[in-house]
Every structure is written in C-alpha cells, then in structure tokens.
C-alpha cells in the first residue's frame, strides 16, 4: 500500500520530500487511529473486512484525475485520510487478531511474513502497474478473511 500511495500522491504534489512526508503521516495517523479504536473494541469481528475491501475498491475505481483539479489543501487531506484508509482497517484487524490470539508470537510472526510477501508483491507494480496492486491487495485481504474464518471453524 505504501508504494501505491507514494506513486499516487506524487501525481498530486510532484516527486518531492513532501510526498514522503504525506505518505508517512497518513500511515502513522491510520496506525494510531487503528490502535485507539482497537483498544475500545472487545473482540475481533469479521465485519472489519467489509470497510477494508470497500476502501481498497474505492481507491481502485476513484479516478485520480479528479483529485488533480482540487485545491492543494483538499488534495492533502485526501492523501492523508483516504489513500491510507485501508491501512487503518488492516491495522484494526491486526490489533484485534493479535489481542485475541492464543499464540501471540505465532500471530506476530505470521504478520511479519505477510509484510515480507507484501514487500515482494509491490515489485509487481513495476510490471503490471500500481493500480493492479490494489487488486492483488484485495485478493490477499480476502485470503486473510477466509483463513481467519477457517481458523475460527477449526477452533469451534
């Protein structure tokens, strides 16, 4: 998601240090908000995957060309709040899953493995395009939901 964010936001502001700052700020805000919300929720709910999928689909279908006509402030807020929105929901899923896990070290290790796979998948953007990455992200999150559902059935 970070690579896609950098390439998209570069269209809005140019390829400068400002783009890196906006992407990092957006990621940090979403991670913080995810942890604040997770602290208030009692347990993991599969419904969190729905807004995650919707936010990724929104980024896929919403034309970036529309944003170019907006004011710099509107582009900034779009870049900080909407582009990294899937990170909020993914962070929420991670925090709640980690808290409810019977083996937190295994869950954390699985998350690190997923981060490594995600890093390798980002290279796909060089050949297939960064927009295609969103489809891959959508499929990976769907696989996460299915594996989480199977794990719950196996435990029951």
Residue reference for tokens 């998601």: 1
The full DSSP string for 90-156 is: HHHHHHHHHHH-S-HHHHHHHHHHHHHHHHHHHTHHHHH-HHHHHHHHHHHHHHHHHHHHHHHHHH-
pLDDT tens digit sequence for 83-129: 999 999 999 999 998 888 888 898 889 889 988 888 888 888 778 88
**SS3 of 43, please?**
coil
Residue 108 domain boundaries? 2-155
pTM (predicted TM-score) = 0.85
Number of independent structural domains in the chain: 1
Burial of 69 (C-beta count, 10 Å sphere; 0-12/13-18/19+): exposed
Q: How many CA atoms lie within 13 A of 11 on its CB side?
A: 17
Closest CA to 38 of 114, 89, 110, 101: 89
pLDDT tens digit sequence for 22-59: 999 999 999 999 999 999 998 888 899 999 999 999 99
Is 2 within 8 Å of 8 (Cβ atoms)? no
Long-range contact pairs involving 113-116 (C-beta distance under 8 Å, separation at least 24): 114/140, 114/144
């Amino acid at each position: 998601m970070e690579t896609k964010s950098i390439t998209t936001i570069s269209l809005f502001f140019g390829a400068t240090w400002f783009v890196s700052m906006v992407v990092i700020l957006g990621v940090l805000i979403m991670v913080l908000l995810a942890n604040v919300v997770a602290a208030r929720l009692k347990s993991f709910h599969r419904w969190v995957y729905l807004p995650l999928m919707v936010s990724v689909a929104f980024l896929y279908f919403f034309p970036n060309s529309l944003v170019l006509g907006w004011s710099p402030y509107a582009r900034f807020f779009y870049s900080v709040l909407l582009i990294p929105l899937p990170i909020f929901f993914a962070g929420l899923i991670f925090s709640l899953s980690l808290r409810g896990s019977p083996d937190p070290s295994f869950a954390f290790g699985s998350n690190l493995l997923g981060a490594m796979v995600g890093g390798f998948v980002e290279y796909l953007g060089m050949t297939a395009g960064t927009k295609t990455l969103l489809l891959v992200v959508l499929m990976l999150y769907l696989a996460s939901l299915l594996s989480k559902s199977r794990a719950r059935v196996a435990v029951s």
